[in-house]
Amino acid sequence: AKGGTLTIMASGAEAVFARAKHALSALGDKLFHVGPEPGQGAAVKTVNQLLCGVHIAVAAEAFALAEKAGIDGKLALEILGGSAAGSWMLNNRGPRMFEDEPMVASAVDIFVKDLGIVADAGRASKTPLPIAAAALQMFLTASAMGLGAKDDSQVIEAYRHMAGLKKS
C-alpha cells in the first residue's frame, strides 16, 4: 500500500480473471491482470521488492558518501529529493535515515526476506541480479549489526559503520 492505495497484481486465465475482477477490486484501487500463468502476479511483486530494496540501499549509500564528505545528510536529502535523483522511496525513507528511532514502517529483516526471494527468483530463472545481491548483503549486514527489527531505513547504519561514520 502506498499513500492509502493498494495495487493488486493477479494472474490466471482471462475468463477466470474477468469473473474475479469485482471481488479483487474490493481489495485495492489498482487492479492489474499481468498474465495467464500462475505466479506472474507474484513475479511482479518480486520485481517491485527488488526496486524498493535497491532504492533504499542506494539512498543509504549516497547519504553515507555525502556525510563522509562533510555534507549534512538532511540538506543532501532536501536537495536530492527535489532533483532528478528523487524518488518516492528516497523521499519516504530518506527522512527516517536521520531520525534516532524512526517508526518502523517495514523492518530491515523484511528486506532480508524479500531480497532473498528476489535472489531465489533470479537463480531459478537464471537471471543475474548483481545490484539486488549487493542490496541484500547490505540488509544482511544491518541485520547482523542487531538492526533487524528496526525500520528498513536503518540500513544506513551498515554504510555508516563501513565508512567509519557515527550516526548523525
Hunting for cell 491482470 — which residue is that?
33
Cα first-last separation, the chain: 30
Residue 45 bears catalytic tag: yes
Helix (H) / strand (E) element for 38: namely none
- The answer for residues whose C-beta is within 8 angstroms of residue 118's C-beta and 6 or more apart is 46, 49, 50, 53, 129, 132, 136
Count of H-run helices and E-run strands, the chain: 7, 2
Which candidate, 102, 112, 115, 113, places its Cα nearest to that of 150? 102
156 burial level (CB within 10 Å; 0-12, 13-18, 19+): buried
β pairing state of 30-35 and 7-11 = parallel
Catalytic residue among 2, 21, 30, 45: 45
For the annotated catalytic residues, the residue numbers are 45
